[in-house]
Amino acid sequence: MTIFLKFIKYLPPELAHSLSLISLKILHNLLILKFFYKKPKPKPFSFLNLSFNNKLGTAAGLDKNGDYIDCLGALGFGFLEVGTVTPLPQNGNIKPRIFRVFDENAVINRLGFNNKGIDHLLNNLKNRSYDGIVGVNIGANKNSKDGQRIEDYLICINKIHKYADYITVNISSPNTPGLRDLQSAKNISQLIDRIDKEIKSLNYLKPIFLKISPDESQSTILNIVEKIDNSSFSGLIATNTTIEKTLLKNVIFHDIEGGLSGMPLFNKSTEMIAYIKTISPEIPIIGVGGVISNADYQAKLDAGANIVQLYTGFIIKGPSIINDILSK
Point out the residues that are catalytic. Answer: 173
Question: 119 and 160 in contact (C-beta within 8 Å)?
Answer: no
Burial of 213 (0-12, 13-18, 19+ CB in 10 A): buried
310-314: long-range pairs with CB below 8 Å, 24+: 310/56, 310/57, 310/58, 310/59, 311/58, 311/59, 311/60, 311/61, 311/62, 311/261, 312/105, 312/106, 312/107, 312/261, 312/262, 312/263, 313/105, 313/262, 314/58, 314/62
Q: Which residues are CB-contacts of 75 (< 8 A; sequence separation ≥ 6)?
A: 24, 33, 37, 39, 319, 322
